[in-house]
A = this chain, B = another copy of it.
Amino acid sequence: MEYSDAMPDSPTVGRRERKKAATRQAIADAALDLFLEHGFEQASVRDIAERADVSTTTLFAHFPSKEALVFDREEEVDAELTAAVRERPENQSVVEALRAHALKSWVPIASDPRLHQLTALVDQTPALREYAERMWMRHAGTLSAVIAEELGREADDLACSALARFVLEIPTLTKGRHDPRATVETVFDLLIHGWQSQHDSGDAITGSCKG
């Protein structure tokens, strides 16, 4: 692998950290190449390590699992969620802040063609779909706590936990629908107003008559 000779991003970041980052990037790149070329299951971690010119031991020192090679952004997502709630404008509710965040950050998956290929890969690969779903749910604890704190409630307040989990279901719920934006809007309307207001097909979900 090659180390760029551009000037260091900042004086405090030494050669060591740069090399480490480069190694990590080399592994991620090799993985993406092989995944897109042969599919997720077809590419073995030994192959990936080989192409990145590292040992498999090193590979697993940087990524906790094969699936994790695809998703580099776990921590950032957590941070963004927290920020979206904490730093929302005055006079904006928590739910509104989450809706805004969902619309701004989750809806535009596309544009970059390479990234588009990747989402296609994830959709086609059950192991990756599952991993992605779990990935979202892993943030439920953090988000729930932030919401509770922001509203001055008990850390394990049920309404907050439930809200967090339900909001984090949205990416999954959105997947495969033609109009993600409308989907997000609809789900938030449901969350805010509840299922009692469903009257559109002549029979309310919460009404009494059988279909």
A192 contact from B95, B152, B194, B203, Cβ within 8 A: B194
A96 to B136, CA, bound (A): 29
A161 to B195, CA, bound (A): 12
- Of the candidate stretches A57-65, A66-74, A182-190, the one touching chain B is A182-190
Tell yes or no: A12 within 8 A of B by CB. Answer: no
B159 touches A207 (CB 8 A): no
- Per the 8 Å Cβ criterion, residues 64-93 of A in contact with B are 88, 90-93
Give every chain B residue within 8 A of A96 (Cβ-Cβ).
Answer: 206
Tell yes or no: A32 within 8 A of B by CB. Answer: no
Number of copies: 2
B159 touches A211 (CB 8 A): no
Contact code string A163-176 (vs B, CB < 8 Å = 1, else 0): 10110010011000
Tell yes or no: A50 within 8 A of B by CB. Answer: no
Tell yes or no: A6 within 8 A of B by CB. Answer: no
A207 contact from B93, B165, B197, Cβ within 8 A: B93
A205 to B194, CA, bound (A): 14
Give every chain B residue within 8 A of A92 (Cβ-Cβ).
Answer: 208
Give every chain B residue within 8 A of A197 (Cβ-Cβ).
Answer: 194
Interface size class of A (residues with CB under 8 A): 35 or more
- Per the 8 Å Cβ criterion, residues 143-169 of A in contact with B are 147, 149-153, 156, 158-163, 165-166, 169
A162 touches B151 (CB 8 A): no
A159 touches B190 (CB 8 A): yes
A151 to B198, CA, bound (A): 11
B150 touches A210 (CB 8 A): yes
CB of A204, distance to nearest CB on chain B (Å): 7
Tell yes or no: A191 within 8 A of B by CB. Answer: yes
CB-CB nearest 5 A-B residue pairs: A194-B194, A193-B194, A91-B208, A150-B211, A93-B206
Interface residues, chain A, with chain B CB atoms under 8 Å away:
88, 90-96, 130, 133-134, 137, 147, 149-153, 156, 158-163, 165-166, 169, 172-173, 177, 183, 186-187, 190-198, 201-211
Can you give 9 A-B contacts (C-beta < 8 A)? Answer: A90-B208, A90-B209, A92-B208, A95-B195, A149-B211, A150-B210, A158-B177, A158-B183, A159-B190
